Structure 1
Amino acid sequence: MPSPTTLLPFQPATMSTAAQLAAVSHLVRYSGRARTLYAYQLRQQFAWCEGIALAPLAGIQRTHVDLYTRQLGDGGLMDPRLSP
């Protein structure tokens, strides 16, 4: 079992407590495959934010969302009709 201070099995070292709580609050609504999928997507998004030194909940601007969405599309993970 994780320690009481470990909220997520994938929390980056730079992830704030607020981001951890937001992720847990989001994931608690789901179970089974949906929870697994959303946890995977959060891992990917948080890793992307960490890779560009961006806090997942603070300072995100439309440009960041567009860049992340573009990366998803480039990786084949998004319907091309929805690309910005």
Structure 2
Amino acid sequence: IGAAGVPGIGMVTLTIVLTQLGIPLEGIALVVGVERILDMTRTAVNVTGDTVCAVWVAKTEGELDVPIEAPGVVAAS
């Protein structure tokens, strides 16, 4: 919801912001190694948040179809 759906776009945004703050490109190079890990974490949080929100809306609207299975019974594919 709050992040762009493009992998690595955080680095582009970060470069723009840090350049505007007067930080030289050499300083930005130090951030690149850590940014990849942070980018993957942001992606996971973004996808999880979107999924939780979609399930919540479906549940409150009565559209969530959750199959109920008896113990020991294998669900049909």
TM score, norm. by length of structure 1: 0.30
Structure with greater helix percent = 2
For the pair shown, the structure with the greater C-alpha radius of gyration is: 2
TM score, norm. by length of structure 2: 0.32
Query: Quick one: higher RCO (CA 8 Å, sep 6+), 1 or 2?
Result: 2
